[in-house]
Protein backbone atom coordinates (compact mmCIF):
# COMPACT_ATOMS: atom_id res chain seq x y z
CA UNK A 1 0.00 0.00 0.00
CA UNK A 2 1.49 3.32 -1.09
CA UNK A 3 -0.26 5.33 1.58
CA UNK A 4 -1.72 8.79 1.06
CA UNK A 5 0.07 10.53 -1.78
CA UNK A 6 0.33 14.31 -1.96
CA UNK A 7 1.81 16.53 -4.63
CA UNK A 8 3.74 18.67 -4.94
CA UNK A 9 6.01 18.21 -1.91
CA UNK A 10 7.10 21.82 -2.08
CA UNK A 11 5.47 24.84 -3.72
CA UNK A 12 6.89 28.32 -3.87
CA UNK A 13 4.70 30.97 -5.44
CA UNK A 14 4.16 34.68 -5.46
CA UNK A 15 1.32 36.49 -3.78
CA UNK A 16 -1.76 36.60 -5.94
CA UNK A 17 -1.04 33.39 -7.82
CA UNK A 18 -3.31 30.37 -7.84
CA UNK A 19 -2.07 27.30 -5.99
CA UNK A 20 -3.46 23.78 -6.38
CA UNK A 21 -2.54 20.98 -4.00
CA UNK A 22 -3.35 17.38 -4.86
CA UNK A 23 -4.10 14.27 -2.87
CA UNK A 24 -4.66 10.59 -3.57
CA UNK A 25 -6.15 8.82 -0.53
CA UNK A 26 -5.59 5.20 0.40
CA UNK A 27 -7.69 2.91 -1.74
CA UNK A 28 -10.84 1.82 0.07
CA UNK A 29 -10.84 4.71 2.52
CA UNK A 30 -14.06 6.69 2.27
CA UNK A 31 -13.18 9.75 4.35
CA UNK A 32 -10.71 12.45 3.35
CA UNK A 33 -9.43 15.38 5.36
CA UNK A 34 -7.36 18.46 4.55
CA UNK A 35 -5.32 19.89 7.43
CA UNK A 36 -3.04 22.90 7.70
CA UNK A 37 -0.06 22.94 10.07
CA UNK A 38 1.69 26.07 11.31
CA UNK A 39 3.86 26.78 14.31
CA UNK A 40 1.37 29.30 15.64
CA UNK A 41 -1.87 27.36 15.20
CA UNK A 42 -0.74 23.73 15.11
CA UNK A 43 -2.88 21.28 13.12
CA UNK A 44 -6.13 22.78 11.86
CA UNK A 45 -8.85 20.84 10.06
CA UNK A 46 -9.84 22.70 6.90
CA UNK A 47 -12.41 20.42 5.30
CA UNK A 48 -13.75 16.87 5.56
CA UNK A 49 -15.20 14.70 2.78
CA UNK A 50 -17.21 11.53 3.25
CA UNK A 51 -17.86 9.41 0.16
CA UNK A 52 -16.59 12.28 -2.00
CA UNK A 53 -19.13 14.73 -0.53
CA UNK A 54 -17.95 17.75 1.50
CA UNK A 55 -19.46 17.35 4.96
CA UNK A 56 -17.75 20.00 7.04
CA UNK A 57 -15.91 22.97 5.55
CA UNK A 58 -16.16 25.21 8.60
CA UNK A 59 -12.40 25.25 8.91
CA UNK A 60 -11.80 26.74 5.48
CA UNK A 61 -10.40 30.15 6.36
CA UNK A 62 -11.74 32.24 3.52
CA UNK A 63 -13.48 32.13 0.17
CA UNK A 64 -10.04 32.10 -1.37
CA UNK A 65 -9.84 28.44 -0.34
CA UNK A 66 -11.80 25.74 -2.14
CA UNK A 67 -11.62 21.94 -2.20
CA UNK A 68 -13.02 19.30 -4.48
CA UNK A 69 -13.19 15.55 -4.55
CA UNK A 70 -14.38 14.50 -8.01
CA UNK A 71 -13.91 10.79 -7.29
CA UNK A 72 -12.84 8.42 -4.53
CA UNK A 73 -9.19 8.52 -5.51
CA UNK A 74 -8.48 12.23 -5.96
CA UNK A 75 -8.92 15.53 -4.17
CA UNK A 76 -7.62 19.06 -4.66
CA UNK A 77 -7.24 22.06 -2.42
CA UNK A 78 -7.04 25.35 -4.28
CA UNK A 79 -6.03 28.77 -3.02
CA UNK A 80 -6.85 31.70 -5.29
CA UNK A 81 -5.42 34.26 -4.86
CA UNK A 82 -2.68 33.13 -2.51
CA UNK A 83 -1.31 35.36 0.25
CA UNK A 84 1.88 35.18 2.35
CA UNK A 85 -0.16 34.21 5.44
CA UNK A 86 -1.20 31.03 3.62
CA UNK A 87 2.36 29.74 3.96
CA UNK A 88 2.16 26.47 5.87
CA UNK A 89 2.36 22.72 5.49
CA UNK A 90 -0.87 21.29 4.09
CA UNK A 91 -1.67 17.68 4.88
CA UNK A 92 -4.19 15.37 3.35
CA UNK A 93 -5.39 12.41 5.40
CA UNK A 94 -7.79 9.56 4.82
CA UNK A 95 -9.54 7.11 7.10
CA UNK A 96 -11.33 3.78 6.73
CA UNK A 97 -15.12 3.63 6.71
CA UNK A 98 -16.51 4.62 10.11
CA UNK A 99 -13.07 5.12 11.65
CA UNK A 100 -12.51 8.86 11.54
CA UNK A 101 -10.33 8.57 14.61
CA UNK A 102 -7.68 6.62 12.70
CA UNK A 103 -6.19 9.04 10.24
CA UNK A 104 -3.51 8.17 7.72
CA UNK A 105 -1.61 11.28 6.71
CA UNK A 106 0.33 12.04 3.58
CA UNK A 107 3.78 13.63 3.73
CA UNK A 108 2.35 17.09 3.17
CA UNK A 109 2.92 20.01 0.83
CA UNK A 110 5.19 22.78 2.11
CA UNK A 111 3.69 25.98 0.66
CA UNK A 112 5.60 29.23 0.64
CA UNK A 113 3.87 32.34 -0.67
CA UNK A 114 6.30 35.20 -1.24
Residues in touch with other proteins (CB under 8 A)? 4, 31, 33, 42-43, 45, 48, 50, 55-56, 91, 93, 98-108
CA 80/CA 101 separation, integer angstroms: 31
CB of 4 to other proteins, least distance (A): 7
Cα angle 74-105-84, degrees, rounded to a multiple of 5: 80
Which residue's CB is nearer to other proteins, number 74 or number 105?
A: 105
- Dihedral of the CA atoms 27, 91, 93, 57 (nearest 10)? -120
CB of 44 to other proteins, least distance (A): 9
- Dihedral of the CA atoms 1, 28, 49, 52 (nearest 10)? 120
Which residue's CB is nearer to other proteins, number 57 or number 66?
A: 57
Which residue's CB is nearer to other proteins, number 45 or number 72?
A: 45
CB of 33 to other proteins, least distance (A): 8
Amino acid sequence: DAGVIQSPRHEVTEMGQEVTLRCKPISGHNSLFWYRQTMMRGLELLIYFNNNVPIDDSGMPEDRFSAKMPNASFSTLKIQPSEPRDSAVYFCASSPRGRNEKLFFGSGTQLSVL
